[in-house]
Amino acid sequence: MESYRTEEEQVEALKRWWKENGTSTLVAVLLAVAVGSGWQGWQARQQAQAEAASMLFQQFLDTLGASEQSGDAAAGEALATRLATEYDGTAYARFAELHLARLHVADGDLGAAEAALRTVLAETSPKEDLHRVAKLRLGRLLAARGDTEDALALLVTDGANPYAGAYAMARGDVLLAAGRDDEASAAYREAQSLADPARPLPGLAEKLDYLNPQPPTAGAQG
Amino acid sequence: MLQNIRSNIQGTLAKVIIGLIVVSFALFGIESILLGGGQSGVAEVNGEAITAFEVQQTVNLQRRQLLSMLGDDADPSLLDDDRLTGQAIETLIQRELLVQAAGDLGLMTAEQTIGAVVGDMEQFQVAGSFDQDLFRSVLATAGFTPALFKESLREDLVTNQLRAGLAASDFATPAELALQARIAGEQRDLRYLAIPVDRFDKTDTVEAEAVAAWYDDHPERFMTPESVDVSYIELTLEDFEEPVSEETLREEFDLTRDSFDVPTEARVAHILLIQSDDESDAAYAARIAEAQAAATGDEDFAAVAGRLSDDIGSASVGGDLGYTAGDTFPAAMEQAISALAVNAVSAPVETDAGTHIIKILDRREGKAVSFEEVRGQLAQRLRESAARDELLRIVEDLRDRAFNAEDLSAPAEALGLTVERAEGIPREGAEGRFADPRVQSALFSEEVLVERHNSPVLELAPQRYLVLHADAHHLPERQPLDAVRDEIATRIAAERARAAALEEGERLLAALAGGERLDALASAGEYEWQVELGATRSANALPTALGRRVFTLPPPEGEAPVRELVSSPAGDIFLVELTRVTPGSLENLPAQRENQLRRSIAGEYGSIIIGAYEGALRASAEVEVY
């Protein structure tokens, strides 16, 4: 630490320092301000973007409730398409694609539904939940078009997939539709063994009953 | 000390440290130091605490839901606090996990959406539009602040969006629909004969030996519950209430009559004039005269007050000071007030504050209360206060005596109290005063039940006390055969009836196989029989047990029907012939039913998905419950 004897000396020292370093200091400060405000601006933009997407999705959900009664899917489809294109890359856009797939299936346009699901698959990595969900639905869609083998190939799971129960149920549906009852029955059993007891699956139980009739007890044989 | 610090911060290290402190304050604010740590959470989910307040809110909500679902006679064990708390914590953990997952996915709720949702909620609306005061008061009743409520709403909305995105986007493909239609739309034709078990129930034919044998074979049955015979003293306020003499009542009335009287009150307005420091006496007097003239002139008093009064507080409200019962203002002012009639204006009145010109706006006449009017009220007050003192004195005395005595008879005698007795108080399901958990835990404590000490004097309610002594303890023991003979006979008869009904069913089944017809068998045995055509899994008029079995039977091959015996849980036997199975098809399904199927297929897939999603979140989360 230097020490200065008089105020003039201090002022002199400051002036000297400013002459040597003034420009670089100014540049550094300006740069810091620019970066800081840029970062804040970017964050605010992101926030506004996400909020807008959220509001649009909320609006979409509200139309769905309404169109459930009227049977008019066009308004929902328009909103979902807007979400998917304008907010590309957000989770909302992917949700919108999943819903578009659903709306197209309801319309009977399986090709468009497949395209929507493939978009989600392309935009997500294989371990993501949305990816696994989209893959499951794509498999079911392929089966509906008659591509049984392609569908079964998509619906294979490894041990780490939390959706194994749903995949097994879908395999059962594909196999049963293809007339392979025994394999279907095994797949349904697997689905049932993976099911959460707190979430009853009456449709699955019906299919199992259907595939596994219980012959009459011995005394009743006519 | 400051000098010390100043000289110490000359070093480079010190500067660095201070720099760091400055930076941390600038970035994180003082909250980071004041509010960090010290969480009072019930559980922690990935580092986010679940507070006791949230748990309590959830418990209350669940209890309300259960009560509204089950009504007042709901099983109390369902409403048990521990049980509900456990469920609530689990619910909140699951919810927190979803909230966090939604955050990770970048889901959020716009302030606008929250506003719109709150604005639309009917419970916050008065005459169809949102009311801020109602909003706050409804929340306050439920223990929420607006910020907390909005936060919880925000969480509801994002988790709902997450569910809607993942699960509600599920669908039913045409192939799946066709498949489900084949099964759900399947129609089965059948006929059945019912053998009611009652017909074989003959309680009076059960032999005494059979009853005795059953009694011997089941030594663990027919135990009486554990119970206690008790003596107890109960004290209530009414026990000590005694009539109050007329004289005492009069005395009390004279002492407290002021509190019953309604005083006369006058509503007063004034114009106050204050002499300022640089104002001459003459100028001040002129100002007073001007105000006096204006106040008594044609101009409205309130307007004059607004224009001329130096009392800033009242000038803007026309000089209005509100009501006085004669003790609000300085004596000089009150004197003038009492002398004035309503709407009259006074001459200037001097007080320490300055000069007042007073107007009476209104006068409410007071009322003196008569002795007769308040007599009942007074008597009750006196009775209760005397009784309360006596009760507390006795209770204190009883505490000491009961603690030192063998049983309750000596303390009761000393204090002139009555000992009551009750027999057979069970450990669970006691009634009345003995159902109180404090009474139960005192009665079945080691000291009272085993060592036979008197219980402590329990305060069951304000001014209601109870002390207990256990006289006899009945351990569970087996009821004698004679006491349960009828019960056993009924049970044996029921067992025999089930077997007989089944045997009858088998006999009829064999007859059918031998070529007999169902209707002929029914009329021969006087049984009811029914034909059901086109029964489906979801729509049929079959008894539950029969319906379930019919749809798991294989379809008949060729002409011969498939026959089966089905017993209901009550023991009734159904003899059924399944004659035809027609697979369902989408074409034959009504449009409404088709939509129903579509929804149930999508719903089932969606339900598995959201369940698996939540399960995976839970499995990979760090959850700690304290």
- What tens digit of pLDDT does each residue of B156-193 get? 999 999 999 999 999 999 999 999 999 989 999 999 99
Calculate mean pLDDT across residues B113-120.
85
Are the CB atoms for A130 and A89 separated by under 8 Å? no
CA atoms within 13 A on the CB side of B68: 5
Are the CB atoms for A219 and B506 separated by under 8 Å? yes
Sign of CA dihedral A165, A167, A170, A171: negative
Check pLDDT > 50 for residue A222.
no
Instruction: B67-71: list long-range contacts, CB under 8 Å, 24+ apart.
Output: none
Calculate mean pLDDT across residues B309-333.
84
Query: What are the chain B neighbours of A214 within 8 Å (beta carbons)?
Result: 549, 552-554
Check pLDDT > 80 for residue A76.
yes
Residue to substitute from A127, A137, A204, A212, interface B, most B β-carbons within 10 A: A137
- State the pTM of this model: 0.63
- What tens digit of pLDDT does each residue of B210-249 get? 899 999 998 888 888 889 999 999 998 888 888 888 888 8
Distance from CA of A77 to the nearest CA of B (A): 13
The confidence score (pLDDT) of residue B133 equals 82
* Nearest CB to B10; choose among A1, A141, A203: A1
Mean model confidence pLDDT for chain B: 86
Answer yes or no: do A143 and B170 touch at CB < 8 A: no
Are the CB atoms for B164 and B157 separated by under 8 Å? no
Residues contacting residue A43 through CB under 8 Å, at least 6 positions apart: none
Are the CB atoms for B195 and B572 separated by under 8 Å? yes
Calculate mean pLDDT across residues B424-436.
83
The confidence score (pLDDT) of residue B372 equals 82
H-helix segments, B514-572: 518-525, 544-550
Neighbours of A87 (CB within 10 A): 20
| Nearest by Cα to B59 from B93, B83, B94 | B83
- HEC string of B568-621 equals CCCCCEEEEEEEEEECCCHHHCCHHHHHHHHHHHHHHHHHHHHHHHHHHHHHHC
Count of residues making up chain A: 222
Check pLDDT > 90 for residue A45.
no
| Domain limits, chain A | 7-19+53-213
Calculate mean pLDDT across residues B462-484.
89
Q: What is the largest CA-CA distance in chain B?
A: 135
Answer yes or no: do A213 and B612 touch at CB < 8 A: no
The confidence score (pLDDT) of residue B467 equals 93
Answer yes or no: do A214 and B108 touch at CB < 8 A: no
Which of the four CATH numbers 3.30.70.270, 1.10.10.60, 3.40.50.300, 1.25.40.10 does domain A7-19+53-213 have? 1.25.40.10
E strand map for A3-44: none
Residues contacting residue B113 through CB under 8 Å, at least 6 positions apart: A54, A55, A58, B157
The residue of chain A nearest to residue B555, with distances taken between CA atoms, is A213
CA atoms within 13 A on the CB side of B573: 22
- As a dihedral over the C-alpha atoms of residue B11, residue B13, residue B17, residue B22, rounded to 10 degrees, the angle is 60
| Nearest by Cα to B502 from B202, B196, B191 | B196
| Nearest by Cα to A215 from B530, B559, B578 | B578
* Nearest CB to B604; choose among A94, A136, A201: A201
E strand map for B237-328: 265-273, 320-324
Q: B262-364 domain in CATH 3.10.50.40?
A: yes
Mean model confidence pLDDT for chain A: 88
Query: What are the chain B neighbours of A169 within 8 Å (beta carbons)?
Result: 604-605, 608
Are the CB atoms for B460 and B409 separated by under 8 Å? no
| CA–CA separation, B512 and B591 (whole Å) | 41
Rounded to 5 degrees, what are φ and ψ at B579?
A: -105, -30
The confidence score (pLDDT) of residue A1 equals 47
* Nearest CB to B607; choose among A110, A173, A199: A199
Query: What are the chain A neighbours of B551 within 8 Å (beta carbons)?
Result: 209
E strand map for B209-289: 227-236, 265-273
- What tens digit of pLDDT does each residue of B378-414 get? 888 888 888 888 898 999 999 999 998 888 999 999 8
Residue A4's pLDDT band (boundaries 50, 70, 90)?
A: low
Answer yes or no: do B110 and A52 touch at CB < 8 A: yes
Residue B7's pLDDT band (boundaries 50, 70, 90)?
A: low
Q: What is the ipTM of this complex?
A: 0.84
- What tens digit of pLDDT does each residue of A117-149 get? 999 999 999 889 999 999 999 999 999 998 999
Answer yes or no: do A162 and B537 touch at CB < 8 A: no
- What tens digit of pLDDT does each residue of B17-55 get? 777 777 666 666 555 454 444 446 788 888 888 888 888
- What tens digit of pLDDT does each residue of B529-539 get? 999 999 998 88
Distance from CA of B573 to the nearest CA of A (A): 13
